[in-house]
């Protein structure tokens, strides 16, 4: 019984990223103005924290209606989608800079490193340090420009 439960749990973890990717590809965010406003807000401010109440306000809905609406139109909860968007922003930071995991976590809107690592692992299936080592080679990273002292 335990093996079946752990396999189901592992499958749920690995499919979260692909499930959300399919959701984003869907035209929900273009078709529904409320979701379009929310998507624009998150894209413009990827490192800002956003509560469920704030998201509902941006969409112009009450909290409970927003939760049901978002889930019915996208197939995922707002929290899972928002976590996915923040992790995608973190990945883009990893790929274009040589910042540490702690710096990227902070710039991605995570207050605690442990929360960032747990969320990253849930969305991508590996921890951020391992992802950076495997997917961000030094030659891919744009070097920081250092100013010369006068």
Burial class, 5, CB count within 10 angstroms (exposed 0-12 / middle 13-18 / buried 19+):
exposed
Q: What is the pLDDT of residues 51-91, one digit of tens each?
A: 999 999 999 999 999 999 998 888 889 999 899 889 999 99
Give residue 13's pLDDT: 52
Burial class, 33, CB count within 10 angstroms (exposed 0-12 / middle 13-18 / buried 19+):
exposed
Work out the angle at residue 76's Cα, subtended by the Cα atoms of residues 5 and 65, and round it to the nearest 5 degrees: 125
Give residue 138's pLDDT: 57
- CA dihedral (110, 115, 119, 121) in degrees, to 10, reads 130
Give residue 53's pLDDT: 94
Give residue 51's pLDDT: 92
Low-confidence ranges of the chain (pLDDT < 70): 1-30, 137-150
Domains of the chain: 11-140 (1.10.10.60)
Give residue 121's pLDDT: 92
- CA dihedral (119, 121, 123, 125) in degrees, to 10, reads -170
């Amino acid at each position: 019984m335990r093996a079946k439960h752990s396999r189901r749990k592992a499958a749920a973890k690995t499919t979260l990223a692909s499930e959300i990717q399919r959701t984003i590809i869907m035209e929900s965010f273009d078709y529904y103005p409320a979701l379009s406003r929310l998507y624009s807000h998150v894209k413009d401010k990827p490192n800002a924290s956003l509560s469920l109440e704030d998201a509902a306000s941006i969409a112009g809905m009450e909290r409970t209606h927003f939760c049901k609406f978002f889930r019915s139109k996208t197939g995922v909860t707002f929290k899972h989608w928002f976590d996915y968007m923040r992790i995608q922003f973190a990945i883009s930071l990893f790929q274009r800079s040589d910042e540490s995991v702690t710096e990227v976590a902070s710039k991605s809107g995570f207050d605690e490193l442990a929360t960032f690592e747990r969320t990253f692992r849930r969305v991508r299936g590996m921890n951020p340090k391992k992802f950076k080592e495997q997917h961000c080679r030094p030659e891919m990273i744009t070097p920081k420009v250092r100013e010369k002292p006068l």
